[in-house]
């Protein structure tokens, strides 16, 4: 894995956006796996700024998002489709028909999971997957458990995830309890995985996930096995890890 240390969230966002923009420039028709939540907002703002300056062209890019809440339609401000439209898709020249988010309102949710995996396969797989990191080590909505889930699946959200996401809702009771999420196998099959982490509250899980044992109890730990993992984290998030500067770990 390659690790890039940033001074703060602003620098982290710019470094990560640089990596994504390089992918788009090298392969204009690339497939990007995208994430939601507060962590990637700075990245999407930076990518939008470069697009507005004429430095980036999204016209041939396809995207697949990691996950979506079950029970929220696309017009709901808390849905991840709404988030992506607001924070990126409506701000750049991407073809909205080339953007994909799981359908949390599907009548056949199991069928939606299978269809999403088939879609990713038809696209040729994911060239670069952007990930955040949950406090309990979840990536996407792959929660701690007894095994690594392989394909897109339905998950019951852990209480810690519900608590963390409740800041975005009027009350904790309004947070959906289930979601559709891309599976670990699909994430691991991406050509490049780009994980971002910011803040002292992520320091413990960054250390445990990337310098601890590989276990489904810390889902992100499986990324230690990825052939091309890039971590961009700020000083606070790396404060408990054995990192002194940017470096690459050979495994």
Q: What is the largest CA-CA distance in the chain?
A: 50
Position 56 pLDDT exceeds 80: yes
Domain edges within the chain? 2-189+198-223
Structure tokens at 157: 């959200």
Please say if the pLDDT value at position 51 is more than 90. Answer: yes
Q: Does pLDDT of 173 surpass 90?
A: no
Report the alpha-carbon distance of residue 83 to residue 178 in Å, rounded: 18
Q: 24-40 pLDDT, tens per residue?
A: 999 999 999 999 999 99
Q: What is the pTM of this model?
A: 0.93
CA gap 68, 66 in Å, rounded: 7
pLDDT-above-70 percentage for the chain? 96
Q: What's the count of helices (H) and strands (E) in the chain, helices before strands?
A: 7, 11
The residues carrying an active-site annotation are: 67, 136, 138, 143
251 CB-near residues (< 8 Å, 6+ apart): 1, 224, 225
Specify the CATH number of the domain 2-189+198-223: 3.40.50.1360
Count of CB atoms situated within 10 Å of the CB of 150:
12
pLDDT in tens, 69-80: 999 999 999 999
Which range, of 40-49, 114-123, 135-144, averages the lowest pLDDT?
Answer: 135-144
Average pLDDT of the residues in 5-33: 97
């Amino acid at each position: 894995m390659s690790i890039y240390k940033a001074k703060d969230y602003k620098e982290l966002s710019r470094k990560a956006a640089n990596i994504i923009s390089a992918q788009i420039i090298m392969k204009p028709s690339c497939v990007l796996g995208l994430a939601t939540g507060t962590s990637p907002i700075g990245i999407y703002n930076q990518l939008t700024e470069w697009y507005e300056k004429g430095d980036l062209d999204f016209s041939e890019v396809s995207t697949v998002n990691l996950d979506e809440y079950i029970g929220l339609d696309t017009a709901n401000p808390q849905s991840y489709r709404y988030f992506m439209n607001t924070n990126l898709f409506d701000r750049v020249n991407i073809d909205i028909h080339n953007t994909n988010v799981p359908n949390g309102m599907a009548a056949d949710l199991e069928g939606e999971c299978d269809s999403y995996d088939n879609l990713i396969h038809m696209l040729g797989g994911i060239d670069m997957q952007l990930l955040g990191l949950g406090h309990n080590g979840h990536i996407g909505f792959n929660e701690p458990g007894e095994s690594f889930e392989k394909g897109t699946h339905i998950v019951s959200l852990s209480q810690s995830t519900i608590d963390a996401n409740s800041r975005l809702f009027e009350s904790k009771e309004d947070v959906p309890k289930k979601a559709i999420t891309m599976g670990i196998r699909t994430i691991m099959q991406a050509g490049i995985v780009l994980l971002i982490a910011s803040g002292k509250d992520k320091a413990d899980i960054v250390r445990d996930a990337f310098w601890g044992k590989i276990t489904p109890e810390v889902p992100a730990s499986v990324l230690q096995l990825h052939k091309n993992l890039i971590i961009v984290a700020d000083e606070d998030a790396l404060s408990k890890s054995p990192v002194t500067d940017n470096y690459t770990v050979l495994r």
